Amino acid sequence: MADASVGPAGSSTELRRAVGPWGSYTWGYADVGADIYVALGLVIATAAGSANIAFLFAGMIYATIGLAYTELAAMYPLAGGGQFWVMRGLGDVFGFTAGWSVLLAFTVDIALFAYISVSYLDRFFPQWNHAPYIIYQGIAMVILLLILNTVGVRESSRLNEMVGAIDIAAESILIFIGFFFAFMPDFYWHQVTFFWGHFDGTKLMFGTSLAIISFVGLESISQAAQETERPTTIIPRTSLALILTILAYAIGLSNLALGVVPWESYDPSTTNVACQGLGPSACSALHLQHENAPMLWLAQHLPVIGAYMVPIIAVLGTILLMISSNSGVYGSSRIVYSMAHNDLMPKIFTYVHPKFKTPIVALFVFAGIAVLEFIAAGLTSNALETLAQMYAFSAAVNYLLVFIALLRLRFTDTDTPRTFRMPWNVAIRRPQRTYDVPISGVIGVLFLLAVLVMVVITNAIGRVAGPLWVVAGFVVYYTYRRYRHLPVLQSLPRDWSRMQIEVYEESGETGLADEYRDALRRAERKQKGPRPPGSAPPPRS
């Protein structure tokens, strides 16, 4: 069987390195900064006074996920992210499962954030914030992002960098002014204690599963690894900075909201009651403020500057959510590109545009799937919640497999240089060598198992649509492998070492390439055992 190794594959399939440190950070922040614009209302409406606990628990989970992604992205700076790492650690079948699951997450990401981006935009045009106009606007936005990504990642990254800087300032000002001039401690305490006095574990679990939406972004950084300059140096720094950003904004804004506005005002059923007696335009505007644009509802309650902050938040929400949708377009195409390189998907997805050096076929196919998801969700009673539940399932499956792969790679790939390691390691000694097992990684596995159980118990749509997507993926995988006469359940042989060295050298990490070669030589000598007395040393390569 032909060797199925992957790596820089020549001018017809090679991606362009155009993302620097700030661009790498803002690829992730485009998701992080936007997610709270969506999840804040969903989680408060679901978890009520325990919304801050739901965000805190989700934040703890994502801190462990972030550390795992940081270690693996620095080890394997290739397009594919979690999918590639799972394939590297657990084999082709699990690699495909992880990739196919995160493809659902990214395509839903495209539809979800395009939908909410339009909702913030329609703050200025409330008469358009209903079907079918919101569907038309969302589809137009997806097409625009498809064109942008076809032109190239450099142009796409510049958009992220510009708006990311503006939004960091705006959200920081919102939190500062909110806590100092609008936060009511007695009201906050009332909302929190009322929920715990009427505790509902199902609501807390549901809210926690939806809060996972607020903690994405590192997957976007890892997807851009093969187009990032000096990735083993840049990615750990930007990933750790992003983890801190995630925790600060999600926890800060959720606590601020509980101390400023009644949690009931984020509940769609409350909105429907409030609409009684209002005309269609007024009801549509109220629906927009409460459910689809929760940050507008929060900004509106700020004293003195609230009236001025609302249009600013509306503009920033529109642009930042569009960027997050853009990250989905970008990320899905890079996952498919990686999977096709590794014979998990048809080779047509490796085709790169000769001028723009972007995976044009992957971009068009999976942006098209996102449009179909967008339309299907728009036909349900609550498109926002439908898309959120689908995202929660796919993210939980992918993250769980990434953790398991990381733990296994600590035993099976000890030669690859690790410029960053998950903390709190415990040494496990074996006759041949000692292995480090990260306690934080084990905790991450337990956390993700808990989230997956929450999703299955509480997410009626996610527990049906998610498994159906996985089953459909296995049909694609089985059909393709049989067509190519490749093993379905077994992994293809790959020259991981050659691929690793090529990536280091191509990205300018020549020192790591030399370190890796030395580690391979030591491992080879150790495997062969000591030389017989009087024998000549092996030649240097």
In sequence order, what DSSP letters do the residues of 170-194 get, joined into one string? Answer: HHHHHHHHIIIII--HHHHHHHHHH
- Percentage of the residues of the chain whose pLDDT score is greater than 70: 82
**3-state DSSP assignment of residue 303:** coil
What region, left, alpha or beta, does residue 96 occupy, with left being phi > 0 and alpha being psi -120 to 50 degrees? alpha
How does residue 229 score in pLDDT terms, banded at 50, 70 and 90? Answer: low
| Residue 524 structure tokens | 């080879």
Which amino acid, 131? A
Q: Is the pLDDT of residue 1 over 50?
A: no
- Percentage of the residues of the chain whose pLDDT score is greater than 90: 24
How does residue 225 score in pLDDT terms, banded at 50, 70 and 90? Answer: low
For the segment 426-451, the average pLDDT, to the nearest whole number, is 89
What is the predicted pLDDT for the residue at 219? 66
Q: What is the mean pLDDT of the chain?
A: 81
For the segment 218-231, the average pLDDT, to the nearest whole number, is 64
DSSP state of 288: I
Is the model more confident about 335 or about 346? 346
Q: Look at 141-150, 197-206, 457-466 and tell me which has the smallest mean pLDDT.
A: 197-206
Q: Is the pLDDT of residue 238 over 70?
A: yes
**How far is the first Cα of the chain from the last one, in angstroms, to the nearest whole number?**
26
Contact between 156 and 359 under an 8 Å Cβ cutoff? The reply is no
For the segment 336-355, the average pLDDT, to the nearest whole number, is 88
Bridge partners, 426 (sequence order): 437
Is the model more confident about 163 or about 332? 332
Is the model more confident about 151 or about 321? 321
Q: Look at 161-165, 218-222, 332-336 and tell me which has the smallest mean pLDDT.
A: 218-222
Predicted model pTM = 0.82
How does residue 10 score in pLDDT terms, banded at 50, 70 and 90? Answer: very low
Q: Is the pLDDT of residue 288 over 60?
A: no
Q: Which residue ranges form the domains of the chain, and what is each CATH number?
A: 21-399+450-483 (1.20.1740.10)
Q: Look at 5-19, 55-69, 347-361, 424-438 and tell me which has the smallest mean pLDDT.
A: 5-19
How does residue 45 score in pLDDT terms, banded at 50, 70 and 90? Answer: confident
Query: Could you give the CA distance from residue 466 to residue 463 in angstroms, rounded to a whole number?
Result: 6
For the segment 222-226, the average pLDDT, to the nearest whole number, is 62
Is the model more confident about 272 or about 116? 116
Query: Could you give the CA distance from residue 473 to residue 483 in angstroms, rounded to a whole number?
Result: 15
For 212-234, letters b (16+ CB in 10 Å) and e give bbbbbbbbbbbbbbbbbeebbbb
Query: Could you give the CA distance from residue 83 to residue 325 in angstroms, rounded to a whole number?
Result: 20
Nearest-5° angle of CA 82, CA 320, CA 302? 125
State the CB neighbour count (10 A cutoff) for residue 193.
11
Is the model more confident about 157 or about 53? 53
**3-state DSSP assignment of residue 6:** coil
What is the predicted pLDDT for the residue at 223? 59
What is the predicted pLDDT for the residue at 100? 94
Q: Is the pLDDT of residue 410 over 50?
A: yes
Per-residue pLDDT reduced to its tens digit, 480-517: 999 999 999 999 998 888 888 888 887 778 888 899 99
What is the predicted pLDDT for the residue at 473? 94
What is the predicted pLDDT for the residue at 80? 65
